[in-house]
Structure formats: C-alpha cells, structure tokens
Structure 1
Amino acid sequence: MKINSPLLACLAVFCFLGVCQGGSLREQFYRKSCSQAEQIVKTTIQQHVSSRPELPAKLLRMHFHDCFVRGCDGSVLLNSTAGNTAEKDAIPNLSLSGFDVIDEIKEALEAKCPKIVSCADILALAARDAVSVQFNNEPKWEVLTGRRDGTVSKSSEVLTNIPAPFFTFTQLKQSFESKKLTLHDMVVLSGGHTIGVGHCNLFSNRLYNFTGKGDQDPSLNPTYAEFLKTKCKSLSDTTTTVDMDPNSGTTFDSNYYSILLQNKGMFQSDAALLATKQSKKIVNELVGQNKFFTEFGQSMKRMGAIEVLSGTAGEIRRKCSVVNS
C-alpha cells in the first residue's frame, strides 16, 4: 500500500515536536547508552517485593495513574512546589505509594549512567517487574522504552482524567476512548484489580446509600455485601481497606473475572463491565488464565504508549520528584 507522503511527513513532525502514541518506543532502548538499566530496575524491585507484597499493586496503579494524566511521562512522580500542587497530591493519588522505590532505582541508575534513563521508563519497567516477581521474575509483558520525562504536573488535571471507581459503563468507555484505548482494553486493564485493596469510602455507598435512600446496590452479590459490611461499618469510614479480590488479593491471576461474574466486583466501575453483551462477553473470555495474561500484556503495551514524550520534548530528570533546574 502506498503511504501518502505529506501525511507521513506530518506524523514525523508531530512526533518530533513531542507527543507520540508509542511510535518512538522500542525494545532495549538503553542497550548501548546504559546496558544494565533494565537489570538494575529488576534487581531492586525483587529486593523490595519480598518484604512488601503490596508493592506490585501499588506500582501497577501508579503507572496507570501516570499514563492517564498527560501520558506516560512520569508526571505523577513530581512533588508539589510553592507555586503548584502536583498530581501526587490530588485526592485520587493520595493513597499511591512506592515512590521511595522509584527514587532508589533512579539513584542507582544515575550513579551508573547519569542523565540517561527517564523516570517514566523506570516506572513502566518497575510496574511490570513487580508483578512478574510471583512468576519467578519471568516478564509478564513487554515494556518498550524511550519515554522522556514531563516537566508539568497539575493536581487539577487528575480528577478529569483518572477513571473514578463510581463510573458508569458509559463514563468508563469515554474515559478509555479519550486515551485511544478500546472497550477491550478497558475490560482487560480492569483486571489489574485482581491485586491490591480498595478504601471503604470508595464503595460503601453501594452498601448503605446507593440511590440516596439508605439502600444497597441490587446488583451487588448479597453475601458479598454482608461480608463488606463487616469490614466497612459506615459511610464515614475513610481508612479501612479491603482486598479487591476477596480470594487472592496479592496474587496476580484471572480470578477477578470469576468474582465479577458472581456480582462480587467491589466498585461500581467493576460491576459496570457486565452492563453490555459485548463487555460481558470479554469478561467471560478472560476467566481463562492464559487468555488474561496474553491480553493484559497487549493492553499494557498500548497503555504504556499513551502520549509519550520523545525526541527533544521533555527531559531526562536527574531526580524523579523534581524537574531539572
């Protein structure tokens, strides 16, 4: 097929000026400039996950939150300043953690290869490697590298970009479509909820006040609802957490989809995946472990390519929490 040359030139200029949907990423980007980069990330992650089993879920969520705001540019890692409140201090990000691990990896990389490896790439690799620890460190998906770091981080952009746990199917679909992700990606990436915890205040309305009349969400499995009520005593509980997957909260597997089909999805946004025939069909397909692993890897690769900075755009931060001076 003949490619329209003006279109090709336009795409090339668009990527050069800064934002690409993954076109500038490639395998082993640091092979020549910092050959040990990926191994340093992997080794550090292994050391931490053994004593912090919650870390895979934390880093996976951090990577997701990074990519959905300004693309995968490490902007979620930046600290607030006197004149700016950064993404990490927005309400949906206050429960993020694992920043110390990213900083430790960056420090090791700066000692080995100064100003070479971006914080955005470190986060993408760290999330993958943390999840992969339980599989004898066999990588569960491919991470292409070559991202550059953003220099802007605004808390005001978080709520408008991160899908909320109370989103309906339509809202979820619109959110993912705005990032050029498909309905299939949406259902697959929701499977990340197979590990990690949810805070009571993000779903307790389903238990105690679903329509504002002191009622329970009728779509929630009654037995599961009673279990959740033993953990979350009231609507005002903002501190208690509960495993999102009641059977294997620290094991990365396809069990999320099995419990979803039993109407045991914790969040309204989980239950929303059963709202249409098409999305429910995908849920049923992903119950199979191998199918889920394969599809999750492909969707993570697409998510990791959202609006990446390349060429001369952005920078390579010397410290992940602050922009270069």
Structure 2
Amino acid sequence: MSPPTRRTADGDGSGSGGGESEKGSGAEPATGTGPGTGSGTGALTGAGSGANPGTGARTTTGPHTGADTGVNSGPGSGADPDPGARPRAAGRDHRPGGSRRGFLTGSAAAGIAAGALLRGAPPAVAAPDREGAADAAGRHAVEVAFTLNGERRRLRIDPRVTLLDALRERLRVTGPKKGCDRGQCGACTVHQDGRPVLACLTLAATVRGKEITTVEGLARGDELHPVQEAFIDRDGFQCGFCTPGQIMSAAALVDSGRPAGDDEIREYMSGNLCRCGAYPNIVDAIRRARKQSTGSGGGSRSSSAAGAVDGARR
C-alpha cells in the first residue's frame, strides 16, 4: 500500500483525500479537484471531501499510460490546473485499434485511390486484334470452287471455315441448320456427290470440285422429291428445325434403291435427332417415299447414290 496522494484544488476551498488504493507499481502524483478515476498500469481510485467553489476537469497524470479525468461541481467555474493535459472528448473511442468509423473512412479512401490508379493503368488482358486476325486470315485464304445445287460457286475463304458456315454466312443458303455444331444432331446434313455428310464437320476447303446439294436443291423445279412429299403427307415434322437434315438423310437412302425395312430405316436415320419426337411419322414417311419411288420406276435419282449409303457416316 503506497502513501496517500496529495491533491490540491484551484480555488478558495480546500479538500483532503479520503481513502485510495493503487494496483501496480510506481508513484503517481496527481493534481486536480473532485473525485476521479484513473487507469494505466495500475488502477487508482480516490475520493475528496470539502467545499470547492470552482468547477473544472481534473486530469491525473503520472508515469502510467493513459489519463484520468474527473468532474468536480461547484458554484463557480474554474480551469484545469494543468494546461498541458488534454481531457478526452465524451463519446470518442480511444481503443488502440481505432474506431469503426475511422476504419470505414480509411477503407473508402483507399478504394477511391485504387480506382483512380486502375483507370490510368493499362488493361491486364489486351483486347483482341480483329484487324490483325483479318489480315492473317486474308494472307492464308484459299480459293474454293464447287457446284452448289447445280450452280457453279467460287469462294475465297479462310481454310478453317466449315462448309456449314460457308453456306450460311457467305452464300446465304440457310437450309442446313446449325444445331449442335459438333456432328451429333444431323441438322446440317447435305449431300456431297450424292453422299450425306455433316456440313459442320466438313471444311469448306475440302469440297473443291465437288457437287454439294442442300434441301433447297433437292426438288426438280416445281416437282418435290418423293421424300419431301411423303414428309408433308405423313406429317413427318413438327417444329421443322431438324427437317432439312432428316429429309437429306432420308433422300440418300431412298435414292440408293436399297431395300430397307423399318429397323434398317431407324438404324440409318439414328444420326438425325428429332427433339419433337416425330420418329414414328418419319419412319412412315420414308417407307411411303420408298414405295412411291419404286412404283414410279425411279429406282435412283442420283448415279452415285447407290453406293453412297454404305459409306455414309452413321
């Protein structure tokens, strides 16, 4: 227990400290008026008695870390006897980590500064050089001449372009559909020299000198192909998206003159998907088209169609 601390008050009155206790080490001289509490390396409590006409803030300072502020009330007003001590403002957070408001303010300022730096910084990933890519494609472009639905066509294209994209994007022949673009749905089926092929898996550069037939060129003038007529009569389609590919595959089978039962028809047409589920009507339409083609004596409409079916990808 350390000896009582002497206190002096600014004013005409005088007071004497009552009992006080201290935990910690070291002496803490204190100057001020009124009751107060202090915190630091030790805890200091004290009580004063007597009349003090002045009012002021008592600040206790000493070797400990921190400040002790108390308020003494009286009939008059007075000043802190220690002008060097700064009393803490009420409501201010004096925790070592700072206030939450200060943290948020600092974070916002840092974000604004970072945004300003990023606006002036170059992009992390360079934008694609479309002009450079076009120039590169132009330097490596190839000339392709082929027959499309009986007409001679010539294109200068990038060797990586597929036949499907060349037909739809360059020649505006939109009968072949881009369904999966992976050779799995059959919606892009066309005839290459009478053989059904998938246009999405065929490079346009490989059809040089070939004869390409799409659904637009299947009819002879105003006369529909037997498969086209049968699809209409037997309602072999619903939404119609897959119908061009279905008709081109079925036409290759019918034109070959190859005898086929329902099981063979289903097996042959298995590469053409119908998301509407019109498979029974499609098989019925192909069966009808085969009978119509055989009855009319037209065993084959294409000289190369007979051998094309066996080599078709299915």
TM-score tier by shorter-chain length is under 0.3
User: Which protein, 1 or 2, shows the higher relative CO under an 8 Å CA cutoff with sep ≥ 6?
Assistant: 1
TM-score (structure 2 length as normaliser)? 0.21
The answer to which structure has the higher strand fraction is 2
Work out which of the two has the higher radius of gyration on C-alpha atoms and give 1 or 2: 2
Q: Which has the higher helix share?
A: 1
